[in-house]
Amino acid sequence: MSTKTNDLKKRRVGTVKEVTSLANPIVKDIKSLAQKKNRDGSNRFIAEGLKLIVDAIDLGWDIETLIYAKSVADKPLIQKKAAQVVANSGLVLEVSEKVLTSITRKDNPQMVVGVFSQKFMPIEDIKPQPDETYIALDRVRDPGNLGTIIRTADAAGISGIILVGATTDPFSIEAVRATMGSVFSLPISRVSIDEFISWKDRHDISIIGSHLKGSKDYRAIDYKTKPCILLMGNEQAGLPEELSSTCDALARIPQVGDADSLNLAIATGLMIYEARRHLLELDLLEPVK
């Protein structure tokens, strides 16, 4: 963490401040998190929305700063969470909507924003168990795709996400926004290709890659016998040979139209729900409460 960030934190922990100026140094520091180098340098990121932030706090994520618009300051839930943040030595900012718009870089912003500490799970801590499914993503470039995949994975009961190679930042404001809060629910690991292959070789798992040259229909693959890792490639290039060659099966999603490929998030969603179908069908038998 930079000296500047440390100095700012020393001046603001465990306090409530009213801020209306875009020139405020704390606001400038938070806005700087729009850049990946500043997120990585300070190990922080921005999330938007009251429900998302409440859920994140309740799940045990460390919140450094809670920011809300003056117009919603009297909401009981906001007051409760603000008191909780201050009690845990965090900062609470009551700001104008102009400041919120500047922080979130969008018109009509959410009225509540949080600054959280990032979390990545070490790949060594991932030990796939029977009936577990993980998603491994190779060099995903689009934060919207990544966020949508994380959200879909959460909905289907995926156990975690493994980002392989130079994948886009899951903690960018665009990716976090697209997850609709699921970034707080799923463990995320970040590894090189060599680290992924080495990890794969140490576990009795099934690696299923999605590939345009796949020889098997994705609906005809065994996803049940072993813990399963669904390996999806880059939006433009797909899986490189060094990864596709490690797969136990290469799956293909049938296409009959003129499109030469599917959107990555859509393709991943199809693979996820097919891989989890035998487990999700059991859930459908549960009585509705």
DSSP 210-226: E-TT-SEEGGGS--SSS
Q: Please, which pLDDT band fits residue 272 given cuts at 50, 70 and 90? A: very high
CA dihedral sign of residues 95, 98, 103, 107? positive
Average confidence (pLDDT) over 219-227:
94
Strand order of the β-sheet with 133-138 is: 188-191, 160-164, 133-138, 228-232, 206-210, 249-252, 216-217
Residue of higher predicted confidence among 98 and 5: 98
| 155, 48: one domain | no
Q: Please, which pLDDT band fits residue 286 given cuts at 50, 70 and 90? A: low
- Distance, in Å, from the CA atom of 254 to the CA atom of 235, rounded to the nearest integer, reads 17
For residue 275, the enclosing domain spans 123-284
- Distance, in Å, from the CA atom of 40 to the CA atom of 32, rounded to the nearest integer, reads 11
| 176, 279: one domain | yes
Is pLDDT above 50 for 245? yes
Integer angstrom CA distances of residue 265 from 50, 180, 236, 252, 259: 26, 15, 13, 15, 15
Strand order of the β-sheet with 91-95 is: 15-19, 91-95, 63-69, 112-117, 44-48
Q: Mind listing the pLDDT tens digit for each residue in 14-72?
A: 678 898 899 999 999 999 999 999 999 999 999 999 999 999 999 999 899 999 999 99
| 139, 99: one domain | no
Residue of higher predicted confidence among 213 and 25: 25
Domain count for the chain, please give it.
Answer: 2
Q: Mind listing the pLDDT tens digit for each residue in 77-134?
A: 999 999 999 988 899 999 998 999 999 888 888 899 999 999 999 999 999 999 999 9
- The DSSP bridge pattern shows strands 188-191 and 228-232 to be unpaired
The pair of structure tokens assigned to 157 is 């009961």
| 187, 249: one domain | yes
What was the pLDDT predicted at 2? 53
| 111, 247: one domain | no
- Distance, in Å, from the CA atom of 211 to the CA atom of 206, rounded to the nearest integer, reads 16
Query: Which amino acid makes up residue 280?
Result: L
Average confidence (pLDDT) over 132-139:
96
Residue of higher predicted confidence among 8 and 178: 178
pTM exceeds 0.95, yes or no: no
| 159, 39: one domain | no
What was the pLDDT predicted at 161? 98
Out of 55, 90, 117, pick the residue that ends a domain.
117
Is pLDDT above 90 for 235? no
**276 and 154 Cβ atoms separated by less than 8 Å:** no
Is pLDDT above 70 for 149? yes
Q: Mind listing the pLDDT tens digit for each residue in 170-210?
A: 999 999 999 999 999 999 999 999 999 999 999 999 999 99
| 148, 244: one domain | yes
- Domain harbouring 78, CATH code: 3.30.1330.30
- The DSSP bridge pattern shows strands 188-191 and 160-164 to be parallel
In a domain, 289, yes or no: no
